[in-house]
Amino acid sequence: MRVAVVGCTGLVGETMLRVLEERRFPVEELVPVASHRSAGRQVTFAGRSWPVQPLSESVFAGVQLALFSAGAAVSREFAPLAVRQGAFVVDNSSAWRMEPDVPLVVPEVNAGALDTLKEPAIIANPNCSTIQLVVALNPLHRVFGLKRVVVATYQAVTGSGREAVQQLKDELSLGRAPHPVYPHPIAMNCLPHIDQFLENGYTREEMKIIQESRKILGEPELAITATAVRVPVLGGHSEAVNVQLVKPFDLNQVYRLLEEAPGVQVVDEPTKNRYPMPITAAKRDEVFVGRLRRDPSAENALNLWIVSDNLRKGAATNAVQIAEYLLQRGVLNR
């Protein structure tokens, strides 16, 4: 199969290449695409070097699958052009996620949203914080019903790309960053500010968590709120989540449900100091869930702590899983 990776030199794009390799996705011809600034660069994939192509409409000729991770503006312009030339597009930007006709998919949760697809189309890959949240919440939602969800995130700098990683490293080693991407230092700090602020006082990131979770879980009215915070962590997003369920639950039943849930790994032996953490979630594809405990402050409520590698399950792995599903269904052909 001819596969394009748009934004191949970014942190997510690079991770997409690694995940495609690891999972032995049937890539015969790789089309690594980036901006003109990356012209002349090569990427390594499946043991050989591939020249990076500057982004233009023509790179999509003959491409059957295009994974986009080059920002919303690029996706808005080029994803339809790729589709028109016969490619299924899995788009990691926010450009298409809330379009009613565009499936927004976390395979463990709503792969079925892909079942009506027969022809090349855009499929949206959700926000990193949303993916790990819905993977953990979906099993509870199916069995007990979600009444209300309150999320506080602890998000890593890799979620803002390579320049943000540099900012953190510069601040830690030099005391200041020559080219900051955040409006304030991130070293030794917490920034309650991810993406732009909106009229309602929420950030775009917070609204993504709210709106995308509703769409993926198929609950357009789900009561959910979020505070999204950047922390000085390199990789791995964490979430403190308070959930009120509709039906009464037994905590052991919740454990079993989560242990059996696809994509979830329960890590919850607090007295042995075992709980999910960014440093142990790194380079893993699972969504790690722990600190499960009943919350007596509301009926049928519990607290949990959810951690996942934001570049993998939060972005690249989820996108590749979507492509794998299309392949299994025979919509995407080898």
* Footprint of a copy of itself (CB under 8 A): 148-150, 152, 154, 172, 183-185, 188-193, 197, 200-203, 223-225, 227, 229, 231-235, 238, 240, 242, 270-271, 273, 275-279, 290-298, 301, 303, 305, 307
Q: At what angle do helices 128-144 and 251-260 cross, to 10 degrees?
A: 130
Phi and psi, residue 42, nearest 5°: -120, 150
Task: Closer to a copy of itself by CB, 241 or 319: give it.
Answer: 241
Which is nearer to a copy of itself, 25 or 208 (by Cβ)? 208
* 237: annotated active-site residue: yes
Closer residue to a copy of itself in complex, CB, 117/240: 240
**Smallest distance from a copy of itself to CB 293, Å:** 3
- Shortest gap between Cβ of 268 and a copy of itself (angstroms)? 8
CB atoms within 10 A of CB 267: 18
Candidates 293, 315, 158; CA nearest to 230 is 158
Looking at beta carbons only, is 64 or 238 nearer to a copy of itself? 238
| Least distance to a copy of itself, CB of residue 329, Å | 35
Partnered with residue 244 across adjacent β-strands are 148, 301
Q: In what order do the strands lie in the sheet with 287-295?
A: 224-227, 146-154, 237-245, 301-308, 287-295, 264-266
Q: Smaller CB distance to a copy of itself: residue 41 or 147?
A: 147
Longest dimension (CA), the chain: 60
- Is 128 an annotated catalytic residue? yes
Measured from the CB of residue 160, what is the shortest distance to a copy of itself in angstroms?
A: 15
* Catalytic choice (128, 179, 184, 193): 128
Cα 2 to Cα 88: distance, rounded to the nearest angstrom: 11
Check if the beta carbon of residue 111 is closer than 8 Å to that of residue 219: no
User: What pairing do the DSSP bridges indicate for beta strands 65-68 and 2-6?
Assistant: parallel
Q: Min. distance of Cβ 164 from a copy of itself in angstroms?
A: 13
What is the token pair recorded at 171? 């601040």
The answer to whether the beta carbons of residues 6 and 70 sit under 8 Å apart is: yes
Positions marked catalytic: 128, 237
